Amino acid sequence: MNPLRQGQLDDRVMDACAVVIFGASGDLTRRKLMPALYNVAASRVLPGNFAVVGVARRDKSDDAFRAEMAEGVAKFSRRKVDPTLWDDFARSVSYVCGDFGAQPTYDHLRSHLEKIDAERGTRGNRLFYLAVPPAEFGPILSGLREAKLVAEGVRPWTRVVIEKPFGHDLPSARELNDTVAGVFRESQVFRIDHYLGKETVQNLLVVRFANSMFEPLWNREHVDHVQITVAEEIGVEGRGKFYEQTGVTKDIVENHLMQLLCLTVMEPPISLSADAVRDEKVKALRSLRPMERRVVGESVVRGQYGRGFVRADEVCAYREEPDVAKDSTVETYVAMKVYVDNWRWGGVPFYVRAGKRMARRVTEIAVQFKSVPHPLFQSPDGGITPNVLAARIQPDEGIAVRFTSKEPGQHTILRDVAMDFRYGTAFGSNTPEAYERLLLDAIRGEATLFTRRDEVEEQWAYMDHVFDAWHAAGNIPPPAYAAGSWGPDAADDLLAKDGRRWRKP
């Protein structure tokens, strides 16, 4: 028996298909996509007949491509590679060389896929993954259309997965959406944000809407404020050119962080269908209070990392990184105070921050509840710490609830304690990675964890107010903060003037 098929349970809900990766020579394919595909194959949840086709400009044979992918999977897979399983998986992997702007590339790809249909029984179903810069989207989509590689009916199906960045502002996002819409229907388009594939992000809706102890408190009557943090220890890691064009706000806030905000504030959907969930996220985005220019100066803080120490290692400043201008005004840190103007959240501030070269790597959503109205008990510092529910997205995925308890003994001494649920402890440490879940969902045609066109455009419409204000102010250089810290002093002041302070996750 085929070792990848033994024990498989999901053939009944997943069609045979070919996964075609444009940009197959890139780092994303080697580090994320191919290890993810191998792991889902090893978990016996891929369709019975599947194939993986890499497409890139470099001239190489199928065997050379397989060898490169074997090296990447061995290095980046979450599980140790089984030689027998890999050999079986590798037989499904092939390679097509060609220029993305040349039509013969797509004619060759069509012939190659027809051959795979005959040999592996993939039935004409195609999942095209564009692991390429946005400038390549147009030529690839046009080539697929001209080669008649996009099926218009339900069977066989054709879908396309598009990586971020999806535009650099609202007009460019709309232009890209129009380009995609000229070839694919919206139901065929899967805009991927890998944060949405993380277990704790998915679990956030379960915690909110499957537990009566939380949802009744999830509103302005009980919540004092919310903090959302996306902090990384690493710097730009050789991506100086990319960061000079984007900065942390376009790289993280406009997409990842805005999605986390949506899932935190959205109303209960009428069902768990993809459009029902995404309808509520769009409503949440439209409820954000617009950032007028004068408000940006008061509610948004920028920063840029200088020299410092991360885990006792001295690291260089952003302006000393390769391909970064010596007088760069690009931000590597941003903090914002955001309001959601609707019935549930009116008046509750949301403090969001994202940064490079921070004190530690952590992504979390922390909901801080209001203090008790009348303190019957006294703690050693004179006050009672407010309750907090913190959803940790990375690392150590899980959810913790902090509350006040009494220490054992004759005297009433209060102490903060936590109920701490960790995925690794509860379910084992070998949790599937985000790309595994998202690739499987795209093969199934399940779009809930992918962003819809109107979501993307609403995110840009909101963030463009911030970029316009910075541009109008002359793109003043951001204040420096020491690498290995929690950001510039102005970010602490943003909360301090409201009588609050950042959590130290």
Look at residue 406 and tell me whether its pLDDT is greater than 80. Answer: no
Query: 112, 256, 374, 465: which one is catalytic?
Result: 256
Helix (H, G, I), strand (E, B) or coil at 12: helix
Question: How much is the pLDDT for 362?
Answer: 94
Contact 133, 24 (CB under 8 A): no
Confidence band, pLDDT 50/70/90 cuts, at residue 47: confident
Tens of pLDDT, residue by residue over 203-230, are 888 888 988 888 889 999 999 999 999 9
Number of helices followed by number of strands (H, E) in the chain: 16, 17
The residue that leads in pLDDT, 422 or 182, is 182
> Residue 320 gets which letter from DSSP?
G
Distance CA 340, CA 342 (A): 6
Contact 471, 464 (CB under 8 A): no
Domain spanning 196-496: which superfamily? Dihydrodipicolinate Reductase; domain 2 (3.30.360.10)
Confidence band, pLDDT 50/70/90 cuts, at residue 412: low
Percentage of the chain lying above the pLDDT 70 cut: 92
Look at residue 1 and tell me whether its pLDDT is greater than 50. Answer: no
Helix (H, G, I), strand (E, B) or coil at 336: strand
Cis peptide before 373 (omega within 30 of 0): no
Question: How much is the pLDDT for 12?
Answer: 41
Distance CA 332, CA 246 (A): 10
**Is 222 among the residues known to form the active site?**
no
Span 86-91, average pLDDT: 92
CB atoms within 10 A of CB 48: 15
Between 232-241, 298-307, 455-464, the lowest mean confidence (pLDDT) is in 232-241
Span 287-313, average pLDDT: 93
* Joined tokens for residue 371: 């203090």
Distance CA 258, CA 260 (A): 5
Look at residue 286 and tell me whether its pLDDT is greater than 70. Answer: yes
Span 489-499, average pLDDT: 96
Confidence band, pLDDT 50/70/90 cuts, at residue 9: very low
* Joined tokens for residue 472: 């109008």
Q: Sketch the domain layout of the chain as residue ranges.
A: 11-163, 196-496
* Joined tokens for residue 283: 């409503």
Kind of pairing between the strands at 398-406 and 388-394: antiparallel
Confidence band, pLDDT 50/70/90 cuts, at residue 410: low
Question: How much is the pLDDT for 379?
Answer: 60
CB atoms within 10 A of CB 421: 17
Contact 144, 183 (CB under 8 A): yes
Domain spanning 11-163: which superfamily? NAD(P)-binding Rossmann-like Domain (3.40.50.720)
> What integer best gives the mean pLDDT of the chain?
89
Cis peptide before 156 (omega within 30 of 0): yes
Q: In angstroms, how far apart are the furthest CA atoms of the chain?
A: 83
Helix (H, G, I), strand (E, B) or coil at 178: helix
Span 141-158, average pLDDT: 90
Confidence band, pLDDT 50/70/90 cuts, at residue 194: confident
